[in-house]
Every structure is written in C-alpha cells, then in structure tokens.
Structure 1
Amino acid sequence: MAKEMTGGCQCGRIRYVVTIHDDDAYLCHCRMCQRATGGVSIAFKGVTRGDLRWSPYEPERYRSSPIAQRGFCRECGTPLTYEGDGADHLDLTVGSFDDPSAFRPLEHSGAESWHPEWLDTRGLPASRTEDNERIATMWRTAVGKLPD
C-alpha cells in the first residue's frame, strides 16, 4: 500500500512528501511529549528517514532529551518530528499531514502519563467553528473565510 502523502507546518514554510507503507499510527502520552506539544498526548506516524523529503526547508531541531531531538517550524512553532538518536526512522506528527484522517491509532505509548478522560470525549457537547458567531466573524474579517 505504498503511497506518497504530503504535509507541513501551519504557516506553510516547511513542507514534506513522504512515502507511507501503512495507515498505522500511535498516541504518545509521555510527559516529554505533553510538554513539547502542550497537549495531553500527541499522535505520531513512524516513517523511514529515506522515505521523507523536506521542501523548501528542513525543520529546525532542538534536543528535547538525552536520547532524541524534535523538529519544528521556527516561524509558527508547529511540532513536526520526534527523532530518536541513531534511528533509521523518525515520527511525524499526524496533525501535520494534509490528510490526517488517513491514519488509525494502533497503540498508546507513555501510558504512565496517560489521561484517559481526555481520550474518549464522545459524550461531550460539540460545536463547529461556523456556529461560534464571534470566532467565525473574526475569521471572515481577517481572511475572508473560515480556516481549513
């Protein structure tokens, strides 16, 4: 099932094309990922480094621990990668793909910091951006449309 997929950061400065061999992904709940993203977990897709091409820029990277670095966009701050030292693969953030719906989570990593109450939220009320008149008006005034 090899296919090429695209993605990038929020501001569009960093783009990538990667060959994907399956739709497997995972959620990481470790404290490092929580701190790096400001969220309770992050969704990752593991890829082989040789299957990934950055354009026009590679992400900036910072050493997030003694065993790994993380890639991000210096302009908008989008987290893009988790890169373990010496590995021939890396993890791309699922949310940075142009079509994140192509993936399905198969496992939880870092379960010692898991907050299960944040995962199954199907029973909570939901609203769409266009239903929040104040926010929708701000978007339309700023850029003429709602965000993608």
Structure 2
Amino acid sequence: MCRRATGSAFAVLAWVPSQSVTWVDATPTYRRSSPIACRGFCSACGSPLSLAYDASPGEIALHVGTFDDPARLEPRYNYGSRQRLGWVCCGMDLPHHDTEERW
C-alpha cells in the first residue's frame, strides 16, 4: 500500500506518540485506506502526511519528507520487506519486518 499511497517505491515514516503531534496550519483530511489503517493528507495540496493503524491508537506515523529537517532522523528498521522492489537497496543492514496488510 505504501507505493500506491505515496506514488514512490516506499514510504519513509517516523512513528511518534499521537499526543505529541500538533498540526500548525490546518487539520489534515483523513481517508480510510484499508480495513486496518487511516491516512492523513494535506487538505490544500493532497500531500500524504500520516498513517495510523487501528491496532495502535496511541501512535501515528508521519511522512519524513514533511519534516523541516528530515536529515535529523535515522531509520531503525524496514517494514513491508516482502513487498520491497528488487532494486531498492537502502537500509538493507537494518532489521526487516512484514506488514499486516495484504494487497
């Protein structure tokens, strides 16, 4: 689903406590993208902003590209590795996990 939702080979997300997020300019528009997840988008331009799984109500994943300084963040693991495209080679030394979603 990450490829479809982002229009890219993968999504780079930062998981944070939901209570720590404050939207500054406007509240995102939310769309249920699967039976187990909801995604937030910029209501002005449509850029993907967030992902939240129903099973983890206290956490939200924010798209790293929306941060003012994304270089401060370092990846810790790969998620959805079974669906990884063969030519994607970044982060191969990190732990790998499968997704719960089946597409």
Q: TM-score normalised by the shorter chain: which range applies?
A: 0.7 to 0.9
Q: Residue 87 of structure 2 aligns to a residue in which SS?
A: helix
The residue number in structure 2 matching 1:90 is 60
Q: Structure 2-normalised TM-score? A: 0.80
The answer as to 2:79 corresponding to 1:109 is yes
Aligned pair partner of 1:80 in 49, 57, 75: 49
The residue number in structure 2 matching 1:13 is none
The answer as to 2:40 corresponding to 1:71 is yes
Aligned pair partner of 2:9 in 34, 40, 55: 40
Equivalent pairs, count = 89
Residue identity opposite 1:112 in structure 2: R
Q: Structure 1-normalised TM-score? A: 0.57
CA displacement 1:99-146 (0-9 Å, x = unmatched): 0001111111001110241334xxxxxxxxxxxxxxxxxxxxxxxxxx
Distance in 2, Cα, partners of 1:92 & 1:66: 20
Q: Looking at secondary structure, tell me which structure has more helix per residue.
A: 1
Residue identity opposite 1:42 in structure 2: A
Distance in 1, Cα, partners of 2:66 & 2:89: 20
The structure with more radius of gyration: 1
Distance in 2, Cα, partners of 1:101 & 1:80: 17
Identity in percent:
37
The answer as to 2:25 corresponding to 1:56 is yes
Q: Which runs of 4+ in 1 moved over 3 A?
A: none
Give the RMSD, CA atoms, in angstroms: 1.3
